[in-house]
């Protein structure tokens, strides 16, 4: 049971019910009306622009009738009905003061303790069963990565993984790229080397926000894949030294790739990127494509390098890493704005054949939200 209270000046409605209270401004309420003259009934798109709403708008009456909140606006002199539950779900009346580096969108930071509980889905189940697909995508949204097991062992199978939520992002590397390694004792020192954990393609702007790596062949011992939560790493840096966290989030690094003719990809973005309200947005970390950093003031550069070094040490700390071995038909997907990945070194001879491709997190989040919608749940 909701109650509404209108301020004497007609500017603010205070809504209480279900144990919570929230204030709403007249201008916000009018802009967020869901009547047929404000929102298209079929697709929900807004039919008016802000210029259609009087800057001095007031509410002249607020009353609850049959579970709906009825507001009368002036000078329009129209009454519009609102669903109070929708209003409460979209409340913006909260206490300020979140420290920079907070996690939005239900994300959860993790470290090596998640090793025994690697987020995983079964290929056939995720493909056929909406609730299995929802659960697999929810893990990606929460943790920034997940494995997929029991998939087909065939060229291009990774595209079937992308089909589960979105579209391939083609780049100058093509729709997919091959990662083939012959490992034998004479060249082990070269091809069998592990790589430092990194995010892919920080020299693109925007970066591809999803990477899929799909195993088609793996006979060499070792060569496990490992992942590190960039958000957990950034937050650990913040907890150790807010100054170092700030220096990496408040200055841009430079990244570049010019490894083939006709290509010179360059970006100027921070290693730790925050939204304007301090939410962690992205981590970029890749020693191979870091370019000369030129946008850090002279006096700040020593601090910047100390922070950069420490972030790398945190990323290299085994306490942060989750590793797993992929067998043919198994793949994993990372949120490339958040989770760093790497391959560990080999300890024996054999071959390894992976295919990789890029896609985007908006598809993951969109498919997940659609699968979580009440209509979908009612259909199951």
Which chain residues interact with Fe ion by CB under 5 A? 200
**Minimum separation from the CB atom of position 119 to Fe ion (A):** 19
Residue (4 or 197) nearer to Fe ion, CB: 197
Which residue lies nearer to Fe ion by CB, 150 or 172? 172
Closest to 326 measured CA to CA, from 202, 158, 136, 138? 158
Q: Please report how close the Cβ of residue 292 comes to Fe ion at its closest, in angstroms.
A: 22
* 137 Cβ neighbours under 8 A, 6+ residues apart: 164, 165, 364, 367, 368, 371
On the CB side of 188, how many CA atoms lie within 13 Å of its CA?
14
| Choice between 289 and 303, CB closer to Fe ion | 289
Our CB check for Fe ion shows the closer of 200 and 335 to be 200
**CB-based burial, 107-127: b 16+ in 10 Å, e otherwise:** bebbbbebeeebbebbbebbb
The reply to whether omega before 65 is within 30° of 0 (cis) is: no
Q: Shortest Cβ distance from residue 160 to Fe ion (Å)?
A: 21
Q: Which is nearer to Fe ion, 17 or 345 (CB)?
A: 345
By beta-carbon proximity to Fe ion, the closer residue of 200 and 246 is 200
Phi, psi of 333 (to 5 degrees): -125, 135
Say what the alpha-carbon torsion angle 143, 380, 369, 161 is, to the nearest 10 degrees: 60
Q: Minimum distance from CB of 334 to Fe ion (Å)? A: 9
CB of 198 to Fe ion, least distance (A): 6
200 or 360, CB closer to Fe ion? 200
What is the 3-class SS of 182-214, one letter each residue?
EECCCCHHHHCCCCCCECCCCCCCCCCCEEEEE
CB of 173 to Fe ion, least distance (A): 11
Round to whole Å and give the CA distance between 109 and 103: 8
Q: Minimum Å distance from CB 81 to Fe ion?
A: 52
- Nearest to Fe ion by Cβ — which residue? 200
Instruction: Give yes or no for a contact between 322 and 273, defined as CB atoms under 8 angstroms apart.
Output: no
Strands, E assignment, 270-377? 272-274, 280-283, 321-324, 331-335, 339-343, 350-359
Min dist. Cβ of residue 369 to Fe ion (A): 28
Minimum distance from CB of 100 to Fe ion (Å)?
Answer: 28
The alpha carbon of residue 226 and the mean position of all alpha carbons in its chain are separated, in whole angstroms, by 19
Q: Shortest gap between Cβ of 151 and Fe ion (angstroms)?
A: 20
Closer of 98 and 288 to Fe ion (Cβ): 288
Please report which helix (H) or strand (E) contains residue 167, including its range.
Answer: none
The residue (of 200 and 330) whose beta carbon lies closer to Fe ion is: 200
- Measured from the CB atom, the residue of 200 and 321 that comes closer to Fe ion is 200
Residue/partner pairs of 57-66 with CB below 8 Å, 24 or more apart: 57/26, 57/27, 57/30, 58/9, 58/10, 58/11, 58/26, 59/6, 59/10, 59/11, 59/13, 59/26, 59/29, 60/10, 61/6, 62/4, 62/5, 62/6, 62/13, 63/4, 64/2, 64/3, 64/4
């Amino acid at each position: 049971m909701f109650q509404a209270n209108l301020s004497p000046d007609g500017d603010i409605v205070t809504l209480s019910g279900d144990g919570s209270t929230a204030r709403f401004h007249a201008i916000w309420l009018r802009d967020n009306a869901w009547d047929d003259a404000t929102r298209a009934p079929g697709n929900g798109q807004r039919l008016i622009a802000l210029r259609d709403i009087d800057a001095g708008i007031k509410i002249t009456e607020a009353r609850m009738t049959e579970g709906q909140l009825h507001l009368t606006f002036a000078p329009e002199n129209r009454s519009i009905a609102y669903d109070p539950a929708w209003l409460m779900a979209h409340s913006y009346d909260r206490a300020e003061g979140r420290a920079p580096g907070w996690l939005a969108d239900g994300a959860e930071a993790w470290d090596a303790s998640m090793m025994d509980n690697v987020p995983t889905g079964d290929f056939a189940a995720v493909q056929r069963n909406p609730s299995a697909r929802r659960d697999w995508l929810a893990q990606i949204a929460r943790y920034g990565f997940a494995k997929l097991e029991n998939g087909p062992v065939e060229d291009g199978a990774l595209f079937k993984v992308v089909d589960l939520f979105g579209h391939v992002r083609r780049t100058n590397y093509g729709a997919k790229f091959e990662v083939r390694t012959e490992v034998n004792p004479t060249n082990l020192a070269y091809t069998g080397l592990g790589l430092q954990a990194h995010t892919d393609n920080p020299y693109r702007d925007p970066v591809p926000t999803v990477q899929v790596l799909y195993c088609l062949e793996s006979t060499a011992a070792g060569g496990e894949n490992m992942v590190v939560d960039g958000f957990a790493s950034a937050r650990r840096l913040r907890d150790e030294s807010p100054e170092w966290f700030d220096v990496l989030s408040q200055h841009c690094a430079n990244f570049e790739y010019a490894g083939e003719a006709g290509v010179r990809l360059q970006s100027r973005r921070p290693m730790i990127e925050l939204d304007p309200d301090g939410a962690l947005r992205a981590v970029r970390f890749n020693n191979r494509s870091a370019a000369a950093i030129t946008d850090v003031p002279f006096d700040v550069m020593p601090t910047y390098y100390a922070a950069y070094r420490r972030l790398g040490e945190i990323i290299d700390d085994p306490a942060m890493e989750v590793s797993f071995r992929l067998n043919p038909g198994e793949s994993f997907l990372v949120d490339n704005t958040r989770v760093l990945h790497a391959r560990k070194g080999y300890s024996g001879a054999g071959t390894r054949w992976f295919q990789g491709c890029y896609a985007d997190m908006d598809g993951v989040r969109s498919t997940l939200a659609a699968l979580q919608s009440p209509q979908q749940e009612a259909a199951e």
